[in-house]
Amino acid sequence: MTIWSVIGAGVAGLAVASEMVSRGAKVQVYDPGGPPGAHGCSWWAGGMLAPWCEYENAEEPVLRLGKTALDWWAARTQVQRRGTLVVANPRDLPDLRRFARRTQAFADVDQTQIQELEPDLHGFSKALFFPDEAHLDPRQALQDLYRQLQGQGVEFHRKLAPPRLENAIDCRGLHAREVLHDLRGVKGEMLVIRCPDIHLTRPVRLLHPRMPLYIVPRGDGVYMLGATMIESEDSSRITARSMLELLSAAYALNPAFGEAEVLEIGVDLRPAFPDNLPRIRRLGHTIYANGLYRHGYLLAPALVRGVADLALENKHSEMVDEDRA
Ligand SMILES: Cc1cc2nc3c(=O)[nH]c(=O)nc-3n(C[C@H](O)[C@H](O)[C@H](O)COP(=O)(O)OP(=O)(O)OC[C@H]3O[C@@H](n4cnc5c(N)ncnc54)[C@H](O)[C@@H]3O)c2cc1C
């Protein structure tokens, strides 16, 4: 029986392994970083499964393929189906209207409804509510996939993949740039804060002239605050400006966030192709699955279905880059 070697155990690699195993394939995984952790970009994600909100500034496949992510993840980890709330400061209400024009599947909500949905949000008179969106905890999701795969007999090798592997699926994220020359890194910065006095139950996006900022509840008063989007490949540290903008967004949602503890600062580079859509490429004996950009969890299920179709049935999904295959 063919053994497929998955190279890289971020969200792409673990999801590929999971999909391949579910179709009866035999798989092994290489990652020198070992189990999921801070070495992978996937560790720092917000985990929003928000295809309608993302459609505001993304291509059509993000909406269509992203909608299929919820059920794929729900079969493997805990998914919170509580929707997304999009708010704007009073001076930015035209931005809320513009956001509404560019997307779909939302309800306009007023101050009373906002209070019913999230009693701890203060000072917002209008919002958009996307009831069908969901979120997950990325670290939990990665650990769940890792444990399930171990339970299914998948061998994990804590080392670099040996050269010239046959039947390899390369999911190294930005590390594959030596082969995928059109891959670039898009810097993202995030914070994890703890504020037990505030109880938010769903992701809240605050519209902002420079970038959409959001807060995702992780439970027990812990929140992920993200994320900047900067065309820079310097992932060495967060800038003062980004830190100010992230914390100001939290403060705008509720001034009690001023008392929050900052637990973590995360900085990493999202792997992206020029059109910010993921791609599958077959070069020699290796299939490359990459370019998840800001949609690691949202588009991984569609990406890995395409990988398994190509690897196991030689079927070309729309993500297969025909020019290079
Ligand atoms: C701040 C921030 C917020 C984000 N928020 C979201 C969000 O809310 N929703 C969402 O869907 N996405 C989000 N993303 C995007 C998402 O995190 C990325 O798209 C995703 O992590 C890319 O996953 P990957 O598996 O391709 O890469 P990675 O997670 O980087 O995994 C690559 C793995 O390959 C391994 N590797 C490297 N070289 C080798 C080698 N030679 N041999 C074997 N293994 C190797 C590495 O150790 C690593 O574990 C966010 C990203 C950031 C930075």
**Residue nearest (by alpha carbon) to ligand 1 atom 51:** 45
157: CA distance to ligand 1 center in Å? 18
Q: For helices 296-313 and 11-22, give the axis angle rounded to 10 degrees.
A: 40
Q: Which residue has the higher pLDDT, 77 or 1?
A: 77
Pocket of ligand 1, candidates 5, 42, 190: which has the most ligand atoms within 8 Å of its Cβ, to mutate? 42
Residues 166-199 pLDDT 10s:
999 999 999 999 999 999 999 999 999 999 999 9
Q: Which atom of ligand 1 is nearest to the CA of 172?
A: 34
Please give the pLDDT value at position 129.
98
Task: Residue 318: count other Cβ atoms within 10 Å of its Cβ.
Answer: 12
Per DSSP bridges, beta strands 134-136 and 155-157 are: unpaired
Task: Residue 1: count other Cβ atoms within 10 Å of its Cβ.
Answer: 6
Split at pLDDT 50, 70, 90, the class of 324 is low
Contact 63, 298 (CB under 8 A): no
- Note the pTM of the prediction, 2 decimals: 0.96
Please give the pLDDT value at position 207.
92
**Residue nearest (by alpha carbon) to ligand 1 atom 43:** 31
Q: Which atom of ligand 1 is nearest to the CA of 216?
A: 8
Residue type, 256: A
Q: Is the CB of 76 under 6 A from ligand 1?
A: no
State the chain's maximal CA–CA distance in angstroms.
62
Contact 21, 312 (CB under 8 A): no
Rounded to a whole number of angstroms, the distance between the first and last alpha carbons of the chain is 24
Pocket of ligand 1, candidates 14, 29, 39, 41: which has the most ligand atoms within 8 Å of its Cβ, to mutate? 41
Contact 30, 159 (CB under 8 A): yes
Pocket of ligand 1, candidates 67, 215, 228, 270: which has the most ligand atoms within 8 Å of its Cβ, to mutate? 270
Split at pLDDT 50, 70, 90, the class of 322 is low
Split at pLDDT 50, 70, 90, the class of 97 is very high
Residues 6-54 pLDDT 10s:
999 999 999 999 999 999 999 999 999 999 999 999 999 999 999 999 9
Mean pLDDT, residues 249-261:
94
Rounded Cα distance, 24 and 72, in Å: 17
Q: Which atom of ligand 1 is nearest to the CA of 189?
A: 1
Please give the pLDDT value at position 60.
94
Q: What percent of the chain has pLDDT over 70?
A: 98
Contact 36, 140 (CB under 8 A): no
What is the per-residue burial (b if ≥16 Cβ within 10 Å, else e) of 253-284?
Answer: bbeebeebeeeeebbbbbbbbeebbbbbbbee
173: CA distance to ligand 1 center in Å? 6
Cα angle: 150, vertex 15, 54; to 5 degrees: 150
Please give the pLDDT value at position 123.
87
Rounded Cα distance, 133 and 106, in Å: 10
129: CA distance to ligand 1 center in Å? 29
Please give the pLDDT value at position 323.
52
Backbone angles phi, psi at 239, to 5 degrees: -90, 160
Helix, strand, coil abundance in the chain, percent, nearest 5: 35, 25, 40
Please give the pLDDT value at position 211.
67
Q: Is the CB of 67 under 6 A from ligand 1?
A: no
Rounded Cα distance, 194 and 187, in Å: 24
Mean pLDDT, residues 104-116:
97
Residue type, 132: D
Q: Is the CB of 307 under 6 A from ligand 1?
A: no
Split at pLDDT 50, 70, 90, the class of 212 is confident
Quote the mean pLDDT of the chain: 95
107: CA distance to ligand 1 center in Å? 33
Please give the pLDDT value at position 325.
44
Please give the pLDDT value at position 291.
98
